[in-house]
Amino acid sequence: MSTATPPEPGALQPLLPSDPSVIAAYRLLGRLGAGGMGVVYLGRTANGELAAVKVTHADQADQPDFRARFRREVEAARRVSSPWAVPVTGADPDAPEPWMATAFVAGPSLGEAVTAHGALPERSVRLLGWAVARALAAVHAAGLVHRDVKPGNVLLAVDGPRLIDFGIARATGETALTATDMVVGTPGFLAPEQAEARTGAIGPPADVFALGCLLAYAATGRPPFGTGAVDALMYRTVHDEPDLTGVPEGLLDLVRACLAKDPAARPAAAAIGLRLVEDAPGDGAEWLPAPVVRTIAERSARMLALPEIDATEAPTAPAAPPAKSRRGFLLLAGGAVLAAGGGVTAWAALDGDGGGDGKKKTAPPKARRWTIGVQADLTGPGKDIGRAQERGVRLAVERFNARKGRPFTLDVKVSDDGGDRHRGLAAARALTGDPDVLGIIGPSSDYAGLVSLPAYDEARLPVITVSAGLNLLINPSAPQGLSVLRACSTHSYASMFLTYYVEAKTRTARPGLVQERTDDAYSWQCAVSAKFAFGQAGITVLPRVIPAGAKRLEEVLGELVDAGIDTYVHAGTAPSAVRAAKELDALGFTGTRVGGQHVFGSEFVEGAGKAAEGWIVGAPVVDPATRKQAAALMAAHRKAYGTAPAFYTGEAYDVTNLLVDQVVKAAKGGKRPDRTTLTAPLRAAKYEGVMGGYAFTEEGNLDGVSTFVYAVENGRYKPLEFAPAAPPKKAEGT
């Protein structure tokens, strides 16, 4: 079983009523993570040793070949003997729910550390590479290929890193259980032969290529082939040179050698260790920067504060106190031993009974709240959209609370992610970690939403977004986005539908298309879909790609106009669209000009001024003023906020009402519903809101609705109509 890396130990979740309390010799203390394949628990043996216990779902175990794959994973991990690879401490592939336990490492993954604290200094990178190279040498010596070396699969401990997750490891040359056209690995950290699914060519050099990507990432804070859509990442991996800007001079030659396109030109893992470092991580933490050490110390302290193991039998007599060993978790850093006291008392306080002696130390806990969560950008670049959605949620909750005979009263809890991908996961966990939150409206932005997925998937808490359109937010093949409902079109479909509209309303024959890579994933999805839609009509596009920051934009626009384009399609952000509008105006271009969701908004019309007039812009929202069904919402918004509702307010209002309706249905007899059961009925629901109808596919994407089209007129967005979800029919004889 290959699962996503578990969430950080600091986010340990309590066991659910359906969870076992014991797996073999491991008493389970909480959940480290969960996904479509199973659950990862934090377990502890009688002598106090901690382990990550991976347990598969029973329905997975019944699938053909599953046990063979799981058994192979266990055997692969056991065959690797290295101090830098996490060892297997127990397993049972033949259990009704197969499980495997590995030694638990309290430190963060490399990905978490770099995201939180930035790139590592050169010595840290050298020591990291030395240890991971030695682990890979042991993998290869065992006749295996890891095939998924990535930042999430390298954990950082005070005495050095640890390589984890052998879920897709294979014996060299083994292909029997892998489809020949299946891409295995993590885009951005896989070799060209993996990206092209050349199964027979995947061997130890593929791991070396991934190690090169890992070193570049650790040294610069970014993957060497960029980020964005999967197809774009794999294309760059196969055809483009890596971006190694910022890699220290002393590491450049080795990293370049690891990233050779030809597997035969890459060095062996054993040789890499010799080239990287003259010393090795010691017993202390001096090999890591101080902020990372503090993170490890905090997590280790939490492990020290875990409760002692309770008796698992019926409580007939007091059990003898278990051993209090915390072997492996006394953290030596800077000569000081980090310890944490009061573990049992602190843990008992989480249960709300105030003490562990059977006597209540505090007043009884207050009644549980029924809360709707909101994750949105309230202070960052998308704050207008985020605030509009927050207001929509609050108005829907106020409407419900004003009902006579309501079965309960609702609260709203808001978590601001600032539209920042580095804050998204923490903002999501502030909501998913609150047991009173029954569902979430949001996130309002793409990338904060994307990094929030581990929290959503772990909690299985329903999350409904009306504006995050990245394809990967819901990805059944991963799987990820297990509890997400997207009440808007993806950027890919929205761009395709908008192109169909342009084809139907104009006689374009020579469109120009600019893909601006400031927001690479969004612009790539828009550009590819627009080109595809034009191609369906037999129209050849003049495409151009410009770097982030819209460098060379004006020069490229001049080339396109000189080439005779009659339509301009902007696959990019609002700031570059402002520049494009002004430059096209200066060039005297009078053809159709088109932009997508990330152009739509006040920044474009205010920034471009008169040059914005006539632009056609698509967005996944309807103007509330055009909907008579939204009259009550309009009045309530004016009363509460003194203005008419902004775009996205109505959609957030609708999906909140949809969520509340399902909560009411699940709360029969006043019983509080299990929030983890709400996603399925939400995806099956058909709801008619004030802004229109909502229905979802089985995976959680919006079904049957395209994108709305606006024209800029007198400095405002004039509503036109929904873009068609199919290409226009050709007239006979054409």
**Above 60 in pLDDT, residue 288?**
yes
pLDDT band at 486 (very low <50, low <70, confident <90, very high): very high
Residue that has been written with the tokens 């058909």 in this structure = 686
Residue 70: the pLDDT is 78
* CB-CB neighbours of 87 under 10 Å: 14
> Which token pair is 476?
């059944």
Please compute the mean of the pLDDT values over residues 655-675 and round it to a whole number. Answer: 92
What residues pair up with 516 in beta bridges, in sequence order? 546
For residues 617 and 593, the answer to whether their CB atoms sit within 8 Å is: no
Q: How far apart are CA 293 and CA 159, in angstroms?
A: 11
For residues 703 and 683, the answer to whether their CB atoms sit within 8 Å is: no
Identity of the residue numbered 468: A
Question: Which one has a higher pLDDT value, 484 or 347?
Answer: 484
At the topology level of CATH, where does 491-619+710-722 sit?
A: Rossmann fold (3.40.50)
**Above 90 in pLDDT, residue 66?**
no
Residue 209: the pLDDT is 96
Please compute the mean of the pLDDT values over residues 226-236 and round it to a whole number. Answer: 80
Residue 76: the pLDDT is 74
**Above 50 in pLDDT, residue 71?**
yes
Measured CA distances, 304 to 29, 155, 330, 541 (Å): 13, 19, 8, 62
Q: Where are the domains of the chain?
A: 9-103, 110-276, 370-487+643-702, 491-619+710-722
Measured CA distances, 589 to 369, 515, 557, 614, 678 (Å): 58, 19, 10, 12, 52
Question: Which one has a higher pLDDT value, 79 or 355?
Answer: 79
Measured CA distances, 70 to 6, 95, 200 (Å): 18, 11, 22
Please compute the mean of the pLDDT values over residues 224-243 and round it to a whole number. Answer: 85
Tell me, letter by letter, the H, E, C secondary structure of 461-524: CCEEECCCCCHHHCECCCCECCCEEECCCCHHHHHHHHHHHHHHHCCCCCEEEEEEHHHHHHHH
Please compute the mean of the pLDDT values over residues 306-312 and round it to a whole number. Answer: 47
Q: At what angle do helices 204-220 and 269-276 cross, to 10 degrees?
A: 30
Closest alpha carbon to 27 in 90, 75, 74: 90
pLDDT digit string (tens) for 174-214? 433 333 344 446 788 989 998 887 777 889 999 999 999 99
**297: Cβ–Cβ under 8 A, 6 or more apart, which residues?**
331, 333, 338
> Chain centroid to CA 559: how far?
38
Query: For 276-283, which contacts have Cβ atoms below 8 Å and span 24 or more sequence positions?
Result: 276/126, 276/127, 276/129, 276/130, 276/133, 277/126, 277/127, 277/129, 277/130, 279/127, 280/127, 280/130, 280/131, 280/160, 281/127, 281/131, 281/159, 281/160, 281/161, 282/159, 283/158, 283/159, 283/332
pLDDT above 90 coverage of the chain, percent? 51
Q: At what angle do helices 269-276 and 122-141 cross, to 10 degrees?
A: 160
Closest alpha carbon to 200 in 173, 171, 169: 173
pLDDT band at 165 (very low <50, low <70, confident <90, very high): confident
Cis peptide before 479 (omega within 30 of 0): yes
Tell me, letter by letter, the H, E, C secondary structure of 365-427: CCCCCEEEEEEECCCCCCHHHHHHHHHHHHHHHHHHHCCCCCCCCEEEEEEECCCCCCCHHHH
DSSP string, 93-131: TTSSS-EEEEE---SPBHHHHHHHH-PPPHHHHHHHHHH
Q: Is residue 148 annotated as part of the catalytic site, yes or no?
A: yes
Q: Do domains 110-276 and 491-619+710-722 have the same CATH topology?
A: no
Q: Report the SS3 class of residue 573.
A: coil
Question: Which one has a higher pLDDT value, 385 or 176?
Answer: 385
Identity of the residue numbered 321: P
Q: How far apart are CA 70 and CA 92, in angstroms?
A: 10
Q: Report the SS3 class of residue 26.
A: strand
Q: Could you give the angle at the alpha carbon of 335 between the alpha carbons of 334 and 340, nearest 5°?
A: 90
- What are the phi and psi torsion angles at 183 (to 5°)? -85, 120
Residue 630: the pLDDT is 96
Q: How far apart are CA 213 and CA 149, in angstroms?
A: 9
Rg from Cα positions in the chain: 28
CATH class of this structure's domain 110-276: mainly alpha
For residues 490 and 701, the answer to whether their CB atoms sit within 8 Å is: yes
> Which token pair is 261?
């396109």
Q: How far apart are CA 262 and CA 681, in angstroms?
A: 50
**Above 90 in pLDDT, residue 299?**
no
**The domain 370-487+643-702 belongs to what CATH superfamily?**
Response regulator (3.40.50.2300)
- Spot the catalytic one: 65, 148, 411, 436: 148
pLDDT band at 501 (very low <50, low <70, confident <90, very high): very high
pLDDT band at 704 (very low <50, low <70, confident <90, very high): confident
Question: Which one has a higher pLDDT value, 34 or 530?
Answer: 530
What average pLDDT does the chain have? Answer: 83
**The domain 9-103 belongs to what CATH superfamily?**
Phosphorylase Kinase; domain 1 (3.30.200.20)
pLDDT digit string (tens) for 536-548? 999 999 999 998 8
pLDDT band at 626 (very low <50, low <70, confident <90, very high): very high
What residues pair up with 322 in beta bridges, in sequence order? none
pLDDT digit string (tens) for 21-39? 899 889 998 888 776 567 8
Closest alpha carbon to 592 in 707, 529, 716, 503: 503
Please compute the mean of the pLDDT values over residues 580-607 and round it to a whole number. Answer: 97
pLDDT digit string (tens) for 115-161? 888 999 999 999 999 999 999 998 888 888 888 899 989 999 888 89
**Above 60 in pLDDT, residue 358?**
no
pLDDT digit string (tens) for 417-475? 999 988 998 999 999 989 999 999 999 999 999 889 888 888 889 999 999 998 878 87
Q: How many helices (H) and strands (E) does the chain have?
A: 23, 26
pLDDT digit string (tens) for 330-351? 233 222 223 322 222 222 222 3
**Above 60 in pLDDT, residue 410?**
yes
What residues pair up with 44 in beta bridges, in sequence order? 27, 50
Residue 304: the pLDDT is 59
Residue 378: the pLDDT is 97
Residue 31: the pLDDT is 86
Residue 194: the pLDDT is 87
Residue 60: the pLDDT is 61
Residue 454: the pLDDT is 82
pLDDT band at 11 (very low <50, low <70, confident <90, very high): low
